[in-house]
Amino acid sequence: MLRRSRKNFLTIFSESAFNYELMSLQVLNRRIFICNSPDTVRHAFVAENAHFERKAPQMRNALKPLLGDGLFISDGETWRSRRRIVGPIVHGARLPQFAPIMVEAALETCNRWADRPRIDALAEMAHLTAEIICRTIFGRSLGHEKAGEIVEGFSDYQRSVGQVDVLSLLGMPEWFPRLHGPAIHRSVRRITAILDGIIEACDSAPDRADSVIGMLLDSTDEHGGRLPRDAVRNEAAVIFMAGHETTANCLAWTWYLLSQAPDVEARLHAELAAVLDGRAPNQADLPALVYTRAVIEESLRLYPPVPLLAREALVDEKLRSREVRAGSLVIVVPWLLHRHRKHWENPDHFMPERFMPGAPTPDKHVYVPFSVGPRVCAGLSFGLTEAVLCLAVLAQSFRLRLEPGAVIEPVCRLTLRPGDSVPMTVERRK
């Protein structure tokens, strides 16, 4: 199992895993439970969330050098206090500020594609979402100027952590040495220096108040205290990490799916023509772009960018009638739930219609691309809006076709990627 999971974690699941409701397995010295039904997901992530709110220790160890006490890997009082601060800063209510940045960066991508017959859709979407998240966090001009440096810093970290395969990561002893090598410390020093420099510059930038950094610098905790500088840096790193690759993968998968489904693509184009008639979209268009949003939601179902949500049981607990000892790992696997044979009709088919108004709403414990419960993605509206607006801008001007012979397979690391690249030809639409 470990050998197979090292190649691709998803291949450890056989067809029957898409039917089971609660699974349990022993990996090395650790018992792992997989919640694969609405009641078990609800129990662990919503009703008894306090008993399962801590991220799996190996995940925390892998990310701690980079994120410090950032909310993504913290729990207890630190998580609650940070979530109160960060939540409102990336909340949907801020979208009037952020949506124009999304459209502006997508239009720049159109210009970049104008004379390119071929692209790697994965790299292009990573570039686009990095521009958006950097301009959001650091302000339009600083973010644009520094995006390349920041992306390179984070990629360097990922390289030095190594291509950690998920299953052995979950089963490894917590002291596993690979995660504490000198390369990691070098890489962290590099990111810290980049981020500290940007935070310093941001502090006196003219658009300070519009950037996430500016808002973090101005925020106060429940006792009225300001966030220390290293906490500002940690939360900026969290938002970059959480908001960059996830949306990039979602968009890359969406281009792949559209290239395989001409009927869906035609309906998408028809909606874009009817609602936008060739102009750039804005936030006010979102309620009318129902099919565009359904395409994104269906893409998130088939290829959830975060395919696995891992927690540690903090106390002795139960799942259904099974004893869950404190220290066990409890996992929700959107990859399985989103294709569960009991909960979806034609589970492996790409059918955006299931998310259209009038269709039955999926159970919120079975459709969990953004997780569920108190630790739900803080950037849910941000990510969804970003994906819809970027798709609307780009699909109005271009149709992407998978290069003949290219085979795209899901590869699960910490996010679900369409391999290392998605080679596509670019056709300009009339």
Residues that bind ligand HEM (CB under 6 A): 71-72, 83, 86, 90, 238-239, 242-243, 246-247, 250, 305-306, 309, 369-371, 375, 377-379, 382-383, 387
> Which is it for strands 329-332 and 317-319: parallel, antiparallel or unpaired?
unpaired
- Identify which of residues 68 and 383 has a Cβ nearer to ligand HEM in the complex: 383
Q: What DSSP character marks residue 330? A: E
Burial of 217 (0-12, 13-18, 19+ CB in 10 A): middle
As measured in angstroms, the least distance from the Cβ of 24 to ligand HEM is: 20
* Tally of CB atoms within 10 A around 20: 16
- Identify which of residues 379 and 410 has a Cβ nearer to ligand HEM in the complex: 379
As measured in angstroms, the least distance from the Cβ of 334 to ligand HEM is: 7
Q: Check residue 266 and give left, alpha or beta (phi > 0: left; psi -120 to 50: alpha).
A: alpha
- Identify which of residues 247 and 397 has a Cβ nearer to ligand HEM in the complex: 247
- Identify which of residues 300 and 426 has a Cβ nearer to ligand HEM in the complex: 300
- Identify which of residues 75 and 426 has a Cβ nearer to ligand HEM in the complex: 75
As measured in angstroms, the least distance from the Cβ of 200 to ligand HEM is: 22
- Identify which of residues 383 and 426 has a Cβ nearer to ligand HEM in the complex: 383
Burial of 100 (0-12, 13-18, 19+ CB in 10 A): middle
As measured in angstroms, the least distance from the Cβ of 361 to ligand HEM is: 19
As measured in angstroms, the least distance from the Cβ of 137 to ligand HEM is: 8
Indicate the length of the chain as a whole number: 430
Q: To the nearest 10°, the Cα dihedral for 129, 130, 136, 140?
A: -110
As measured in angstroms, the least distance from the Cβ of 365 to ligand HEM is: 13
Query: Minimal CB distance to ligand HEM: which residue?
Result: 379
3-state SS, residue 126: helix
- Identify which of residues 18 and 335 has a Cβ nearer to ligand HEM in the complex: 335
CA–CA gap between residue 5 and residue 332 (Å, rounded): 17
- What DSSP letter does each residue of 140-178 carry, written as one string? HHHHHHHHHHHHHHHHHHHHHH----HHHHHHS-TT-GG
- Identify which of residues 72 and 355 has a Cβ nearer to ligand HEM in the complex: 72
As measured in angstroms, the least distance from the Cβ of 383 to ligand HEM is: 3
Closest CA to 93 of 283, 377, 285, 280: 283
As measured in angstroms, the least distance from the Cβ of 250 to ligand HEM is: 4
Instruction: Say which amino acid occupies 237.
Output: A
